[in-house]
Amino acid sequence: MAQRTLVLIKPDAVRRGLVGEVLSRFEAKGLSIVAMEHRSIDAAQADAHYAEHTEQPWYPPLREFAVSGPLVSLVLEGDEAIAVVRLLNGATDGRQAAPGTIRGDLSLSNRENLVHASDSEESATREIALWFPELS
């Protein structure tokens, strides 16, 4: 059954010229791009997106990173897209993520880890409404 998930190609990926590399992995897997935007965000949008994390000690530097430059937000669609994209992204810490995943192949950081993806149907619904209200 087709499912939608919210993905961010984070500012480190844009700075490193990896947008095409990351997008091509999602496309090659068979996922469809339903919406996509290149944009910068402010602290309020970062706080809304990372609402579950704003009390973490590591949140202030994460917010600095999130607003540090343009990112690409997108909605992907496909069979079990939420779980499939999490698998393609790999574990949060790029140093521990499995080879073959985006983070495992391309990131050496627990913060600058190139991609975000919704972690549940509830998160996907909330995040798609936040980033692409016209789709909700």
Given the complex with ligand CDP, which of 31 and 71 has the nearer CB atom? 71
Task: Identify any residues that bridge with 76 across adjacent strands, giving them in sequence order.
Answer: 5, 33
CB 114 within 8 A of CB 103: yes
Of 58, 60, 87, 95, the residue at the interface with ligand CDP (CB under 6 A) is 58
CB 127 within 8 A of CB 118: yes
Of 29, 111, 125, 130, the residue at the interface with ligand CDP (CB under 6 A) is 111
Residue 116 annotated in active site: yes
Annotated catalytic residue, options 38, 49, 53, 116: 116
77 binds ligand CDP (CB under 6 A): no
Instruction: State yes or no: 25 annotated in a binding site.
Output: no
The order of strands in the sheet holding 115-117 is 32-39, 71-79, 2-9, 115-117
Closest residue by Cα to residue 119 from 65, 50, 61, 56: 50
68 binds ligand CDP (CB under 6 A): no
CA dist 12 and 9 (Å) reads: 8
Residue 35 C-beta: closest distance to ligand CDP, Å:
20
Of 4, 25, 49, 116, the residue at the interface with ligand CDP (CB under 6 A) is 116
Instruction: State yes or no: 86 annotated in a binding site.
Output: yes
Closest residue by Cα to residue 110 from 12, 1, 3, 6: 12
CB 118 within 8 A of CB 82: yes
The count of residues interacting with ligand CDP (CB under 6 A) is 9
Annotated binding site: 10, 86, 92, 103, 113
Annotated binding site for ATP: 10, 86, 92, 103, 113
